[in-house]
Structure 1
């Protein structure tokens, strides 16, 4: 799972280290930007992250209320690099829907 580190503290909440491990980076594509009009933000997350962990991490790090979390696992493509076949890494995306009145500006850091 998570390499022997504790995922949660004694109180049952995510540790600060795990929160930063769960949320890798925002996804800034045309499709993700259009979803922003519907109060959604897309993040690349850890492959072993669960929906409750993602919800807690986003609410704590960005001080917003999350309405829903949808996830998908993207399989890495097989591509050629200098004539040799290679494999891109698999990754997981989370589309986070925020409550009305809340927003996240992904262009600024945490």
Structure 2
């Protein structure tokens, strides 16, 4: 009887140890699983942040390129009348100077019809 009680007590201790070990293994597995989920989530978050930064950078570069193109077009448009006016004025001044220095009675329009046309448009 005493031997049977000792064996029964030993069986209970072994069962308790097995149960405790099982609980430890489940807890460790849960921690590993949670850690893997957290690691995966952190990786996904990092990828998402990288995509957001790349998108922001691309949008900023596109805006800068558009602004530069608009500024270049605007500068080009602003420069055109100035260059055209300056060239026409210079040609007209040269023609007037040549006309003033020409001998009396000569008609510069007959000598250079293109110059006469430029003078008329200026």
Report the TM-score, using the length of structure 2 for normalisation. 0.19
Relative contact order (alpha carbons < 8 A, sep ≥ 6): 1 or 2 greater? 1
Q: Which is helix-richer, 1 or 2? A: 2
TM norm structure 1: 0.21
Q: From the CA coordinates, give the structure whose radius of gyration is larger.
A: 2
